Structure 1
Amino acid sequence: MPASNPVAEPSVVSHAGRSGRNWLAVSAIAALIVILPIAGLALEALKGSAGLWAHLFSSILPVALVDTIILLLGVGVVTAVLGTTTAWLVTAYDFPGRRVLEWALLLPLAVPTYIIAYAYLDILHPIGSVQGAIRWFLGYETPRQFRLPDIRSMTGCILLLGFVLYPYVYIPTRAMFLTQSGNLVDAARTLGVSRRAIFWRVALPLARPAVAIGVALALMETLNDVGAAEFLGVRTMTVSIYTTWITRTDLPGASQIALAFLLIVVALVAIERWARRKQRYATDARRSRGLTPQKVPAVKGILLFLAGAMPVLLGFAAPALYLTTEAWKRYQFAGLSSRLVGEAISTLTIAILATVATISLGLVVAYATRLRPGKTSATLLRMSTVGYAAPGTVVAIGVLIVLACLDRFIDSTAFDWFGVSTGLLFMGSGAAVVYALTVRFLAISAGGIEAGLSRIPMSFDHASRTLGQSTAGTFRHVHLPLSKAAISAAALLVFVDCIKELPATLLLRPLNVETFATHLYGEAARGTYEEASIAALAIVVISVLPVILLSKVGASGRGA
């Protein structure tokens, strides 16, 4: 028996190596799928004349870039303040309603940015019920006598986006606060540091990497936004790309703006990673304990609950209540529109196909990284996830360029060989939307699945191989069952992001095909808010699903 080991071991290793190379090759294809639209974008940008570049840099880019920077700075500050303070509130203090706030503070994630803009434009309209009630209370009769500042402004856009996107900071920051050692807090208290000062001197410095990650994610979502910024009159880079392409029918110009925008985004991501390259946090798990919430008096507890509930009220409850009310009014007046059924089918079909493609490619990329760890697999993983840093408008232009060329090639080849015109196979079938969504959200899939696979010890792989299982058998019988929770979570998050995605769907959908998101955008652009309320409510209801998932994950994490 001992003599057989030296013979069997090289066979297992060589077989695993060959299989690993196969997974790595498919991972390279996945990375190529993501990079192709960016390469197409660069080629299309080169078609623009030098005079067009000069025009962009002299008139369009400066205004759009300044507005984008101001918006990013404002949203970054609002999300950092709201996310960090609410995370500390529910972690450091024990008060009535704290456990409700722990998951309720995630609810604004269920409201896409363009929906909150759409809702508040009507809620805070000068002749709307809110401003009317304020005027009645103050004794004024007309909007000329008193009206609130116009929400169609940079300030309004910053505040609305901040109240929707702060959970991106709340989630990682609260996780960091929960894992911080209570011993550090006790040591600070023995030195006479107050609970408030502990936040500034101990907790916040240790949580800075988590805050930075959350703010970066929130800013990525801000860069991807086109609906809210356009509704609120803010001319960002994303809006400039959209108007240059659609309004001016200038694809090379839009490609040039998109390419410049993509370079800025990549530079920001590189700067953010460089800034926190040396930030690490370590603790001795054997001797540390979690932070114990401090019990507070009843009156102070009520005040803390109200303070924590304010972001939930403004970021979720108010727009959700508005959408429910308007949807019910619309239903009572005219019932359900027949086109909602078609929109639901289109929305679900596109989201399901994109989710299947995204999870499949993400699984390949993540598993190749496990089988063949090293610089090659790490590079392919980063290449395959670069699409998440690119706004949906940028991805849409790149996908359009690539698939339009492919459609023309297939059509001309089929006509030359068979005398048949195939038309727009990809652009006319919805495949372009699925492709763009896959490029955009492959990072969520690959990252989530890789995290799930990393929790499986390598000893399980070795045990499976010694029992005669191949790499495919180990994947099927060991890794898939043990990582199904991570795969399911990634699939649900990708599915809901596909439901909410507006820019790519708006720009690449086939003719006469509407989804909930594009229907809402069209009605809001025309000012007919009541017509879009049911579609908006449907998006919010579907988007609540990942929030429930996140709250359950958080609860299980505490229980562990």
Structure 2
Amino acid sequence: MIACCIALFALLPLATLLWLSATPNAELWSHLLDRIFWVYLNNTLILCIGVALLTTLIGTSTAWLVTRFNFPLKRFLEWGLLLPLAVPSYILAFVITDQLEYAGFVQRSLRAIFGWQSARDYWFPEIRSMEGAIIVLSLVLYPYVYLLARAAFVEQAARLFEMSRCLGKTQTQSFFKVVLPMARPAIVVGLTLAMMETINEYGTVAFFSVPTLTAGIFDVWLNMSSLSGAAQLAMLLVVVAIVLLSLERYSRSAGKYYKLSGQSPRMLAEKLPLGRGLICTFYCLLPITLGFLLPVGVLGNYSLRSLDSDLTVYFQNAWNSLSLSAMAAFFTMLMGVGLAYGVRLSKSPWMRWSAELATVGYAIPGAVLAVGILYPMGLLDNFLDGLSRRWFDYPLGLLITGSGAALVIAYSLRFIALSFRTLDASLTKITPQMDDASRSLGSNSGKTLWRIHLPLMRPSLLTAMLLVFVDTMKELPITLVLRPFNFNTLATQVWDRASLEQLEHSALAAITILLTGIIPVIFMSRNISRQQYAGA
């Protein structure tokens, strides 16, 4: 029953969007179709295709290099290539624009070196453009492809690769004809995750003035004052997200690959000559430098220069971010436990299906989820305020939407998938015989969960809370829509200041978010490195 209630609650935003989108908006859509809708759609498609191509290229090539070859700094690069995953894309967009714009370090240096006096004396690519957005998003999203592609290469049946070489195929031919096809399912999963993040992106596309469907939701809602129109655009994004997930699942089911034996030998790394090794080192260092070292260096420098200013504002916003993230992590963990344990107890396909449906929030863009949350929470606020006025003659005001409660609810529904997936995987490792033994000793299902499962799941509980905590710290679209008046987090502080070309004043907040994001990256890199070098 608890699991069913959680599943129904998690589906509330989607149900709200369906209800709101049923409102006819012929005049609005006539205006959108005549002027801007096709621009939204075209830009979204171009952005997704560009990011897909670049993330696949960077992620797959670097994963193969660090798996197949030995070259300088390889051990660092194996986990260092994951570091850009800790950088929110909007922060990287601010930093790169700050360094490459006309008054930035790069163009200032070029003018000083060549003696140019103004922008008329030379050509420099436009940073705030579609191409700039594709590059920025690819630099922070390629680790999804890299992580899963490298895991696939590590688990690759090495003898098949060697058999291909023995049959006269070159190393390149063996890679494209044997290794890459076998790793395709893992690469497609990583690419799907990158695409989901791309259609969810708001900060980067808004800052670079690239109108996409996500930006269009804000435009229709706030500038055209049409909540139902925004809901209709939001449902279109939901359809896109569902199509992406369906294509990913179809791709995995259409091509299945199995190991030939229980334990495959590890692929032996080939030592490269110094010259080729240095080229590989430079190639792998480039995305780390642009996607992680550059923002850390710039923000660290700006933070030291502005350390004595706005500290009161910083600490207030940091407390807001930490408290909201901690509450969201805790409630999401409780919901994840309820769903995972409900699936374990029920063992019915219907319960599994309901739990899977409850995690659809992670596939829905944050701006879309915010639209679906705000309306029912507003109705609940008005209902509670009316009751309080009638019964106690005391106005409650906006009890939920006027406080951080709406943010915590939205964060929890957005990231419940992280909690459920982690805890469900942990529960499946606990043998059912332990449940039977506990029940035979007189414990009901609740006591069994409290005394047996939760202590055994403690590492997974902490992992689930950590993942939700870090993602909540970085979340921008939901916070921009649902934050109360005069309420800021570190993410909105960065957005507000950097949007006004005041990156220095937001540097401390930005680097705090960035350093927080490194924690799960370290965990992931340690796990995959342990997997690769076990038994070496």
> What is the TM-score when the length of structure 2 is the normalising length?
0.96
2:41 equivalent in structure 1 = 65
Q: Does 1:87 align with 2:63?
A: yes
Moved more, 523-532 or 491-500: 523-532
1:88-103 alignment to 2 at 5 Å? 88-103=64-79
Moved more, 138-147 or 391-400: 138-147
Between the aligned partners of 2:260 and 2:346, the Cα distance in structure 1 is: 31
Q: What SS is found at the alignment partner of 1:276?
A: helix
Between the aligned partners of 1:173 and 1:367, the Cα distance in structure 2 is: 31
1:115–1:395 distance in 2 versus 1, CA, 3 Å: same
Q: Does 1:78 align with 2:54?
A: yes
1:388–1:467 distance in 2 versus 1, CA, 3 Å: same
CA shift for structure 1 position 468: 4.9
1:469–1:299 distance in 2 versus 1, CA, 3 Å: farther
Q: Does 1:172 align with 2:148?
A: yes
Q: Does 1:444 align with 2:406?
A: no
Question: Are the counterparts in 2 of residues 31 and 384 from structure 1 also a CA contact under 8 Å?
Answer: yes
CA shift for structure 1 position 267: 2.5
Q: Does 1:405 align with 2:379?
A: yes
Moved more, 177-186 or 41-50: 41-50
Q: What SS is found at the alignment partner of 1:450?
A: helix
CA shift for structure 1 position 410: 1.2
CA shift for structure 1 position 336: 4.5
1:357 equivalent in structure 2 = 331
Question: Are the counterparts in 1 of residues 329 and 469 from structure 2 also a CA contact under 8 Å?
Answer: yes
Question: Are the counterparts in 1 of residues 192 and 244 from structure 2 also a CA contact under 8 Å?
Answer: no
Question: Unaligned 5+ residue runs, structure 1?
Answer: 1-24
1:434 equivalent in structure 2 = 408
1:151-550 alignment to 2 at 5 Å? 151-286=127-262, 288-331=264-307, 334-466=308-440, 468-550=442-524
1:557–1:463 distance in 2 versus 1, CA, 3 Å: farther
Give identity over the alignment, percent: 38
Question: Are the counterparts in 2 of residues 131 and 147 from structure 1 also a CA contact under 8 Å?
Answer: no
1:182–1:457 distance in 2 versus 1, CA, 3 Å: farther
Between the aligned partners of 1:349 and 1:81, the Cα distance in structure 2 is: 39
Between the aligned partners of 1:467 and 1:416, the Cα distance in structure 2 is: 52
Q: Does 1:26 align with 2:2?
A: yes
Instruction: Give the aligned CA root-mean-square deviation in angstroms.
Output: 1.7
1:362-412 deviation per Cα after TM superposition (whole angstroms, max 9, x unaligned):
111112222222311211111111001110000001100110011111111
Between the aligned partners of 2:74 and 2:51, the Cα distance in structure 1 is: 26
Question: Are the counterparts in 1 of residues 25 and 229 from structure 2 also a CA contact under 8 Å?
Answer: no
Moved more, 170-179 or 459-468: 459-468
Question: Are the counterparts in 1 of residues 52 and 195 from structure 2 also a CA contact under 8 Å?
Answer: yes
Q: Does 1:149 align with 2:125?
A: yes
Between the aligned partners of 1:466 and 1:297, the Cα distance in structure 2 is: 65
1:487-526 deviation per Cα after TM superposition (whole angstroms, max 9, x unaligned):
2222111100000000001110111111011111111221
Question: Are the counterparts in 1 of residues 200 and 367 from structure 2 also a CA contact under 8 Å?
Answer: yes
Question: Are the counterparts in 1 of residues 155 and 264 from structure 2 also a CA contact under 8 Å?
Answer: no
Between the aligned partners of 2:20 and 2:495, the Cα distance in structure 1 is: 28
1:60-94 deviation per Cα after TM superposition (whole angstroms, max 9, x unaligned):
32110110010000001111111111111111111
Between the aligned partners of 1:194 and 1:460, the Cα distance in structure 2 is: 52
1:42 equivalent in structure 2 = 18
Between the aligned partners of 2:265 and 2:432, the Cα distance in structure 1 is: 29
Q: What SS is found at the alignment partner of 1:284?
A: coil
How many pairs align?
Answer: 534
* 2:128 aligned partner, one-letter code: R
Question: Are the counterparts in 2 of residues 164 and 315 from structure 1 also a CA contact under 8 Å?
Answer: yes
Between the aligned partners of 1:482 and 1:171, the Cα distance in structure 2 is: 27
